[in-house]
Amino acid sequence: MQTLTVQLKERSYPIHIGSGLLGRADLLMPHLPHKRAALVTNTTVAPLYLEQLHTALQSHGVKVIDIILKDGEQYKNAETLGQIYSALLAHRCERTTPLIALGGGVIGDMTGYAAATYLRGVPFIQIPTTLLAQVDSSVGGKTGINHPLGKNMIGAFYQPQVVLADIDTLNTLPDEELYAGLAEIIKYGLIRDLPFFEWLEQNMERLLARDAEALQYAIARSCKNKAEVVGADERESGERALLNLGHTFGHAIENGMGYGAVLHGQAVAIGTMMAADLSQRLGWISAEDVARIRKLFGRANLPDEGPPSLAPELYLQLMGLDKKVEGGKIRFVLLKAIGHAVVSGEVPEELLRQTLVACTK
């Protein structure tokens, strides 16, 4: 097991990464002083991992209330959030009762937001079970739900007390979901870690084969990158915005196609290729750089072109609603080089339109 720390003064917390961690309730016990917790998961993850976690917690005398939600990005909304609140109230959960999120990013984001708001804030524990959640969404405290008008538009920064990433859970993950997680892993290489990007070029096949050692390395390296960025800029007033590479385009795709139609990681991959194309049009990176990025996404079985049914006009409209808009200008995360991203609000609309046309099938 490896343990990293997100350094946020009194709100610092550990990220434990390794094999067999669902059985390591001892790692959670410092955060369960009253031996009571509410566990939020979904109908896919519950039959796979709930019993194992229950057994571990019960052996330490912890009483657990289960809240099992429908599975899917389309349920990451106010109605489902209301179901969490109702269950917490019905079971008389108190301010000291931690919420445990067991699942992917959808469960983690929703549970975190419920924890941030129920009784004005209760403790929160992340147990991510997708690759994407282990390398990204469980770390850093962004929590929230979607709105019909925009992705992740309602939410709060609310840090967990501990993150427990059991890499064994990745063995049951569908291939497409593994690939989706690889998109966020490649992101760290692109924005700030060229040696990691090169490592991914060398080791992509090992990751696709779910080689435990390679997965452990990639997850820990991703979490190290994310922890450094979040530790320096928790509330996204600067550097943290770089973690949104590909997301402005990607969120428009997710919203425009209907939540759940395109996986978040797939939308991020397409959005990242759009950001790379735009960076080339601005003269910042070369055609060889773009081809190199495209090749790595291709090897990770990720799409690199937007859906034909989404017209440039629709992107422009949807991106105008993104959280990254400031003073009416869309702020894009773009590449100055592989391993070096920047935020820019100065993108000529003509170049943006050219990118949208060029990167759509």
Interaction site with ligand GLY (CB under 6 A): 136, 140, 142, 240, 243-244
Distances (CA, A) of 69 to 16, 41, 42, 106, 240: 25, 6, 4, 10, 30
Give the residue with the Cβ less far from ligand GLY, 68 or 115. Answer: 115
In the set 151, 247, 281, 331, the catalytic residue is: 247
Which of 27, 37, 45, 53 is the binder for ligand NAD (CB under 6 A)?
45
Site for ligand NAD in 185-244 (CB under 6 A): none
Name the residue whose CB lies closest to ligand GLY: 243
Strands 99-103 and 124-128: parallel
Sign of the four-CA dihedral 171, 295, 282, 266: negative
Question: Which lies closer to ligand NAD via its Cβ, residue 224 or residue 292?
Answer: 224
Annotated catalytic residue: which of 76, 151, 192, 264?
Answer: 264
Per-residue x/- mask for ligand NAD, residues 114 to 153, rule CB under 6 A? ---------------xx-xx--xx--x-x---------x-
Closest distance of CB 35 from ligand NAD, Å = 26
| Residue 133 binding partner per list ligand GLY, ligand NAD, none, with a CB distance cut-off of 5 to 8 Å that depends on partner kind | ligand NAD
| DSSP letter for each residue of 140-193 | S-EEEEEETTEEEEEEEE---SEEEEEGGGGGGS-HHHHHHHHHHHHHHHHHH-
Shortest CB 115 distance to ligand GLY, Å? 17
Of 28-36, 167-175, 198-206, 269-277: span binding ligand NAD (CB under 6 A): 167-175
Q: Could you give the C-alpha distances from 190 to 126, 195, 263, 265, 294, in angstroms and in order?
A: 26, 10, 20, 15, 12
Strands 329-330 and 325-326: antiparallel
At what angle are helices 78-90 and 105-117 packed, to 10 degrees? 60
Q: Assess whether 251 carries a catalytic annotation.
A: yes
> Is residue 42 involved in binding ligand NAD (CB under 6 A)?
yes
Tell me the two tokens of residue 261: 């139609």
CA-CA distances (angstroms) from residue 278 to 92, 295, 321?
52, 17, 20
> Could you tell me the smallest distance in angstroms from the CB atom of residue 205 to ligand GLY?
26
Q: Are 152 and 145 in contact (CB under 8 A)?
A: yes
The partner in contact with residue 130, picked from ligand NAD, ligand GLY, none with C-beta cut-offs of 5 to 8 angstroms by kind, is ligand NAD
Determine whether 236 is an active site residue. Answer: yes
- Residue number of the CB closest to ligand NAD reads 105
184 annotated active-site? yes
**What backbone phi and psi angles, to 5 degrees, belong to 263?**
-65, 150
Q: Kindly state whether residue 250 participates in binding ligand NAD, applying the rule CB under 6 A.
A: no
- The correct pick among 16, 192, 264, 331 for binding ligand NAD (CB under 6 A) is 264
Minimum Å gap between C-beta 326 and ligand GLY is 16
Relative orientation angle of helices 194-208 and 212-232, to the nearest 10 degrees: 140
Site for ligand NAD in 314-343 (CB under 6 A): none
Site for ligand NAD in 277-296 (CB under 6 A): none
- Scored b (16 or more CB within 10 A) or e, 67-97 reads bbbebebebbbeebbebbeebbeeeebeeeb
Could you tell me the CA-to-CA distances from 3 to 157, 188, 229, 261, 289 in Å, in that order? 22, 19, 17, 35, 34
Check if 329 is active-site.
no
Q: Point out which residues bind ligand NAD (CB under 6 A).
A: 42, 44-45, 48, 71, 73, 76, 103-107, 109, 129-130, 132-133, 136-137, 140, 142, 152, 169, 172-173, 177, 180, 264-265
Catalytic residue numbers read 120, 142, 184, 226, 236, 240, 244, 247, 251, 264
